[in-house]
Amino acid sequence: MAHQNGSIFSKTLIMPAIKAAFIKCNPKEMYRNPVMFCVYVVTILCSLYLIQAFVSGKEIGFTLQITLWLWITLLFANFAESIAEGKGKAQADSLRATKSQLSAKRYNENGELEVLAAELLRAGDIVLVQTGDFMPADGEVIEGIATIDESAITGESQPVVREAGSDSSAVTAGTKVISDEIKVRVTSNPGESFLDKMIALVENAKRLKTPNEIALTILLSGLTLIFIVAVCALYGMAQFSHVTLSVVVLIALFVTLIPTTIAGLLSAIGISGMDRLMKANVVALSGRAVEASGNIDVLLLDKTGTITLGNRFATEFLVINGVSERDLAYAAWLSSLADETPEGKSIVKLAEKRFGFKREDIDLAHAQMIPFSAYTRMSGIDYNALNIRKGAVSAITKHLGNHSPDTVSHSFTLMVERIAEEGGTPLAVCQNNELLGVIYLKDVIKPAIKEKFDELRKMGIKTVMITGDNPLTAAAIAAEAGVDDFIAQASPQDKLDYIKKVQKEGKTVAMCGDGTNDAPALAQADVGVAMASGTTAAREAGNMVDLDSDPKKLIEIVRIGKQILVTRGALTTFSITNDVAKYFAIIPALFVVSFPSLNALNIMHLHSPMSAILSAVIFNALIIVFLIPMALVGVKNVSVSAHKLLQRNLLLYGLGGILVPFIGIKLIDMVITAIGLV
């Protein structure tokens, strides 16, 4: 994907964000944030008092400065959200460029090809995509195999293979075929493609608040109500002590004491989290899923295509009773020449690599190929005087019957059991009713995945592999991959039941999968991460899509989810302690004349009550700007316990929130006094 990797304050983002900050200053936009809506209301009220000040000629300078800085506070808060949204919209524009001007070669009712605009395609249409063509729509390969460049979508330069009949059959609009040709069945109508959904998602125009955001918004609204009462009480105290507090001063007090900092940055934190996921090539279909990813307790992974590469590969020829390895390899090679399955191709490749067999040395014109059948569970070839069959051990044993005593020999049985225990699949080979040996087919574990599972374990996440294999095979693969647990011979219903069981225990569950049989589990999981290379059903069921189809990516998803939670917590801690500090910085300066004993708390010795108020308002606006990068980039996530994380937040952001206002307000007071603003 063509990401916008420049600075968050690049010119291409700044100018539209400034414009959007002004546009957001309307009631329909502002009411969505209760705290900032209160600021909006009192700012308008202060503007009315400014008009009155111009009419009466009293306190024009002070009222003007307060009013301007209140509007600036609103604009800075809107700017934080706008620049976060701007990054998403820039990505959406890049994706639209990928989608534009696509055409298609569609088969009409007569089976003839016709060229038309891609936007005219409908679900169910069959299209031909050849070398050099761009994929006109989302679909599934129904015939052929091709190498596809998906860099326009995933950002990865390495081409991928898409093949009919496999779990890697899904193709995405905007990708490019760089070799061979395929027939594709369109699976989406215009406006409903994966690319269209990505565009809508990254724009974040209608991003829904997550449960934690809603809870925090309620808390901040409650604090705002408390400070309304507090400011009213201060007015009563001022009247009692003969201290004059104008409405403008009370408005300024109210705005500086309520949690405007976190309220102004809250939306930007969530939006930027989804933006960071997009940079990691993960499309989050909901903010709720992003947030849940930071609380994952259990991760379920489908074995095939997720933990393993997805296909079994021939790794060894194992012989019995004095049969030479070359004879077994030759028989396996002959019987696999017409086998187009990945397993068959791997047998041919292994035999040719080990013994140098060449296809041009044989004539298959008069050979009879025996295709694989789900009923016989074997395939083979009749060539000259050779009758060769290969297939499942039970199928070959049944085929041989009583012709060969080796079918039930102890050595053969031990060989088959050993392969199963090691997580492999034994494929028996016989020639002219004589058992030659076994081909060792092995599920290949994806590179470096064990180390990634170790990282997840350190983060407190339990990994569970789900597979349809027998328990012996599943146990071997689970041990090799380094997962904590496994469920063998699992049906789609078993996966669903396990997730429901764990969720009833109060745990947050994530599921990684790529096949149609994973769809129910992906839909049920709190975080369902579907592989982009998987089936359309899987991608529709999940609430996240990994464009790189790499299960190791879940570690990055978890980190980003935790980072959002940590950032929100850190800024909330800073904002609340910040408000407490401002309270103790301003109140003594206002009442020290009437209550001399408050001088003990007036540690900053601000120039005057008016300079104290103005300095606090200016600081309240500027601190939002300084915290925007933290909200957009996120607080660094450290892998520690929740208790230690709380201690760290309180020490760093709690203590910082107390100290920074004292320092900031004092410096601003010195500056505005020096230049004569008060």
- Residue set of the binding site: 339, 343, 372-379, 390, 514, 518
497 labelled catalytic: no
What count of other Cβ atoms lies within 10 Å of the Cβ of residue 147?
Answer: 14
Please list the alpha-helical segments (H only) found in 258-376.
Answer: 260-279, 287-293, 325-336, 342-355
What count of other Cβ atoms lies within 10 Å of the Cβ of residue 57?
Answer: 7
What count of other Cβ atoms lies within 10 Å of the Cβ of residue 198?
Answer: 24
Max CA distance (Å), the chain: 117
Which residue is catalytic, options 138, 149, 302, 579? 302
Handedness of CA 176, 181, 184, 189 (dihedral sign): positive
Q: Are 531 and 549 in contact (CB under 8 A)?
A: yes
Q: What is the distance between the alpha carbons of residues 303 and 469, in angstroms, rounded to a whole number?
A: 9
User: DSSP code of 636?
Assistant: P
- Hey, what are 628's tokens? 């925007």
Q: Give the bridge partners for 438, in sequence order.
A: 318, 428
Q: What is the distance between the alpha carbons of residues 338 and 314, in angstroms, rounded to a whole number?
A: 16
Annotated binding-site positions for Mg(2+): 514, 518
Alpha carbon of 415 to those of 348, 408, 437, 439: distances in Å?
22, 11, 9, 11
Residue where the block lists tokens 């030759």: 330
- Hey, what are 62's tokens? 């002070």
Q: Are 545 and 283 in contact (CB under 8 A)?
A: yes
Give the type of residue at 665.
Answer: I
Backbone angles phi, psi at 545, to 5 degrees: -130, 125
Annotated binding-site positions for ATP: 339, 343, 372-379, 390
Q: Are 500 and 516 in contact (CB under 8 A)?
A: no
Left, alpha or beta for 448 (phi > 0: left; psi -120 to 50: alpha)?
Answer: left
Pairing state of beta strands 282-284 and 544-546?
Answer: antiparallel
What count of other Cβ atoms lies within 10 Å of the Cβ of residue 587?
Answer: 20
Q: In whole angstroms, what separates CA 232 from the centre of its chain?
A: 46
Pairing state of beta strands 509-513 and 298-302?
Answer: parallel
Provide the annotated active-site residues.
302
